[in-house]
Amino acid sequence: MADEERPARALPAESQGQAAGRGRLKGRRILVVGGGQRVVDAETDPVGNGRAMSLLFAREGAHVAVADVSRVAAQATADLIASEGGRASVITADIRKPDDVQRMVEEARAALGAIDGLVLNVGVGVGAHGLAGATAADWDAVLEINLRGPMLACKAALPVMEEGGSIVFISSVAGVTAGSRLPAYDASKAALGGLMRHVALEGARRGIRANIVMPGLVDTPLGRLATRGRPGRARTPVPFGRQATGWEIAYAALFFMSDESVYATAQILAIDGGLTGIS
């Protein structure tokens, strides 16, 4: 039977965000930076990575501080957590501003009591395609958010994190393979690996781990917006034959956030349906 004739494989409950929590993060206090969600089409938007992680962590027993530049978006995520009986606090901060980042960490500690988990789910891609379309201003704007922002967050959070904590950076396969056609975006995601390894080095003495989850193509509101700007994105030949869901990225982050990965640090986990390993 030809591939196009094969019936679509049913997604498991985890991929659809329908699996029950199993207490894997019971008692944990986690700050999710970028835990809100952009609204592209409120009627059809799938869950984004940040919201999926925040919800999943709460389902698994964590108290979550949802931080976002948009208070409305962060509050919407917190409200969803509360509707499921979970605990969430809301923080508004702009990761481009050092003072905001410091305040964000202080507010998270106050709200949660302590921090033993940090997720950095931030990233933008702006500007015209290719080097010919790149400008110095666009380059600086992208690295300010995608690389300097996570550095500032780690600088503020690492000294006050609890021993045995975990830091998870959400990157992109654009950091290891050309594809976005946005030089600044690709470069920022590649450089995130260097930052992650340094954070892992500094955290090792206190058992604080730092790792990267590297998504491929994901069906999120931002992903759909990116496809509008570059329709060819939707035709990328993913070996699994589909894009990931935000929940599938969240479960990878859950692994790194839980004690199941207690001996894993300075690692990069690609969640891309085989895009970088098979294609």
The residue-averaged pLDDT of 6-26 equals 90
The residue-averaged pLDDT of 40-45 equals 86
pLDDT per residue as tens digits for the range 152-167: 999 999 999 999 999 9
Q: Tell me the C-alpha distance between 217 and 223, whole Å.
A: 7
Q: What is the mean pLDDT of the chain?
A: 93
pLDDT per residue as tens digits for the range 240-250: 889 999 999 99
The residue-averaged pLDDT of 67-76 equals 97
Residue spans of beta strands (DSSP E) within the chain: 29-33, 63-68, 87-92, 117-120, 166-170, 209-215, 218-219, 244-245, 268-271
Least confident segment among 132-146, 185-199, 231-245: 231-245
Least confident segment among 85-99, 186-200, 213-227: 213-227
Find, among 123, 171, 147, 146, the residue nearest to 276 by Cα: 171
Higher-confidence residue of 5 and 36: namely 36
The number of angstroms, rounded, from the C-alpha of 175 to the middle of its chain's C-alpha atoms is 14
Domains belonging to the chain, first-starting first, are 31-271 (3.40.50.720)
pLDDT at 2: 44
pLDDT per residue as tens digits for the range 130-184: 999 999 999 999 999 999 999 999 999 999 999 999 999 999 999 999 878 899 9
pLDDT at 1: 39
Q: What is the pTM of this model?
A: 0.93
Annotated active-site residue in 57, 139, 169, 185 = 185
Q: Tell me the C-alpha distance between 79 and 82, whole Å.
A: 5
- Give yes or no for residue 221 having a pLDDT over 70: yes
185 noted as active-site residue: yes
How far CA 205 is from CA of 30, 151, 157, in Å, comes to 20, 19, 15
CA triplet 191, 142, 200: central angle to 5 degrees? 30
